[in-house]
Amino acid sequence: MFFAGLFSLFAVTMLVAWFGKPRVAFVLFALAMVLTGALYLHHATTILPLSF
Q: Which residues bind another protein (CB under 8 A)?
A: 1-8, 10-11, 13-15, 17-18, 22, 25-26, 29, 32-33, 36-37, 39-40, 42-46, 48-50
Shortest Cβ distance from residue 31 to another protein (Å)? Answer: 12
Shortest Cβ distance from residue 39 to another protein (Å)? Answer: 7
* Secondary structure in 3-state letters for 1-52: CHHHHHHHHHHHHHHHHHHCCHHHHHHHHHHHHHHHHHHHHHHCCCCCCCCC
Q: How many other C-beta atoms lie within 10 A of the C-beta of residue 6?
A: 16
Shortest Cβ distance from residue 10 to another protein (Å)? Answer: 5
